[in-house]
Each structure stands twice: as structure tokens, then as C-alpha cells.
Amino acid sequence: MKKIYGSASEALDGLLFDGMLIAAGGFGLCGIPELLIDAVVDSGVKDLTIASNNCGVDGFGLGKLLDTKQIKKMMSSYVGENAEFMRQYLSGELELEFNPQGTLAERMRAGGAGIPGFYTQTGVGTVIAEGKESKIFNGKEYILEEGIFADLSIVKAWKADETGNLIFRKTARNFNPPAATCGKICVVEVEEIVPTGSLDPDHIHLPGIYVHRLIQGEHEKRIEQRTTRPAA
């Protein structure tokens, strides 16, 4: 099965459609699939629902899809750092399904494991619990959260072999693995593709069975908030 494609647009060819649900990896601007996001922008697909920890920043990452009004709804745990996100949400142009961060990660992981729902204490007694089923376990209240089953996953890894086995680096490992597993199709961009068999099996974070299409590319790796101090 061919997994390696020449570009992001080639890797997404035939997969995008209006109104689809996309799970996108990344944490802040760390480990975001920036090349695939650009290809989604260029495709013009619209009315998207995006499940991702956050929505990039103004003019970069998923923020580009806000600029082009291609996102209809965000499923996120953090919505700061993006003035256009705030403007669209407050004006009613953008829907928001707000999730506690661990709950969002678990919803993706559950979807990847074929689990339709799970109970958690997180959010009990808050607006997060409104309209959700609750049950008592061992004298404590839990609310039901649904697994996320996306039409497409777009993720960023550090290294892959030719069969799609993936290694992530540091913070990029937070949301990328669960996002990768919860999509019907998973497309991955990496910094380096190495020959099959050259990765230590004990170092692989995500098996290639989850990966359908793969590209290698150059990445900007922009810093979300640059904090410096004067030289001594």
C-alpha cells in the first residue's frame, strides 16, 4: 500500500468535503500539521468542524482557516492567543464546543479505540455538564462524554519509516497520537522519513497501522510566545 506522497495537497486529494469533522494534532503551535493545514486552506473546503486543543494564532496554523471563514465549529480546550477566534465567536459566526483539556484528549483516544462514550468527574457541576447524562459511581457523580470519530485526522510527527510508524518529540506527543487514531483516514507530515526497519520498535510512539498517507516537508516551527531577557 502506497503511503508516501509528494506534497500535502496530493496527500489530501479526494479526502476533503464540505461539512466534515477533522481532528488536528498539536499543542499551541508545537507539533501542528502546518503543511496539511495550508493544503486545507488552499482546497477551499468549508463548514468544517475542527477538533483540536486550540485554533492556532492569528494568521498561522488553524488560524488561517479562521481568516478564510472555512471553520464552522471548533471543539477545543484552549481558545486564547487568537483575536479573530474571539471576534468570530462573540459575533456568532463561529460555534464552540468547549472541552476540559484532558477530556478532549480522552474523547479522541476513546474514538480511536472504538469507545463511544465514557464517564468522568471533570466538569461536574459546571456548564460543561449541561445537557449531559450523569450517573453515580461509588457515591460520586460522573458525566457522560462521547468519543470523537473524525472523518479525517491531520497530524505532525518528527520521524517516520516508510510504513508510517511514527516518533513524536516532546510536547508534540500530547495531542497528536490520540488525534491520529480517531480519524477514519489519518494523514501525517514529518520532518524525516527513514527506511523500514531502521527505527527501534521500542521507540515507536504510534504504529503505522493507523497511518494511511504520509509526507515529508520543511516546517516553520513558529514560537507561540517568545519570552526573552536583556543580555547581561
Does the residue 226 lie in any domain?
A: no
Does the residue 223 lie in any domain?
A: no
Q: Give the pLDDT score at 19.
A: 98
H/E stretch holding 112 reads helix 101-112
Does the residue 230 lie in any domain?
A: no
Residues of the chain below pLDDT 70: none
Determine the distance from the C-alpha atom of residue 16 to the mean position of all C-alpha atoms in its chain, rounded to a whole number: 16
CA distance 30 to 22: 18
Q: Give the pLDDT score at 1.
A: 72
Does the residue 44 lie in any domain?
A: yes
Q: Which residues pair with 30 in a beta bridge?
A: 27
Does the residue 231 lie in any domain?
A: no
The number of distinct structural domains making up the chain is 1
Domain carrying residue 180: 8-216
Q: Give the pLDDT score at 91.
A: 96
CATH number assigned to the domain comprising residue 15: 3.40.1080.10
Is-contact 162 196, C-beta < 8 A? yes
